[in-house]
Amino acid sequence: MKKELKRTKKAIEELLKVLGDTEENLDDLDQAITKTHEKVAKLEEEVMALVTKMQRLERKIHKKLNKIAKVKRLILKADTDRKLKMYEKDYDRLVEELQALEKEYKKLHKKYEELVLKEEKALEKEMALEEEAARISEEQYHAIAAVQEAMGRLSGKLNRY
């Protein structure tokens, strides 16, 4: 009987050690998940701010395109050389401004794509950490059930004596 009690006690102690280890692992994972979640939230804010900038630039680009179209019509209707040169000068200036806006938009779009990739990687990492935490929680649940079962057997054996 003493051997069996010692084996049961040893098994319970091992299971309690496993429970302690899983609890530490869960705490570490929770901290990592929290950090990753904060990183994802920060990246989402950056992406949204970038999208807003890009939308503003798109509106400016459309305005420039409309002005260019208007100036083109005025060039076609120009009745003097002086007006024609003035409209062509305006046209050239507007095209340069449009090119600068498009260049800035391309930079923002590239940065946007990079941020989205970072965000996706961070989300994947967060999901992997959450899956690991779920797996450890399940192990912990099974360890608790095993401890309860072993303690039940032990108390049953003690009651018999």
Distance from C-alpha of 91 to C-alpha of 145, rounded to nearest angstrom: 79
Q: Which residue has the tokens 């391309």?
A: 106
pLDDT at 159 over 90: no
The mean pLDDT of 55-71, rounded to a whole number, is 96
Q: Half-sphere exposure of residue 72, counting CA atoms within 13 Å on the CB side?
A: 7
| pLDDT tens digits, one per residue of 10-38 | 777 777 777 777 778 888 888 999 999 99
Whether the Cβ atoms of residue 40 and residue 122 lie closer than 8 Å to each other: yes
pLDDT number for residue 53? 96
| Maximum Cα–Cα distance across the chain | 119
Distance of CA 56 to the CA centre of its chain: 24
Q: How confident is the model at residue 112 (pLDDT cuts 50, 70, 90)?
A: very high
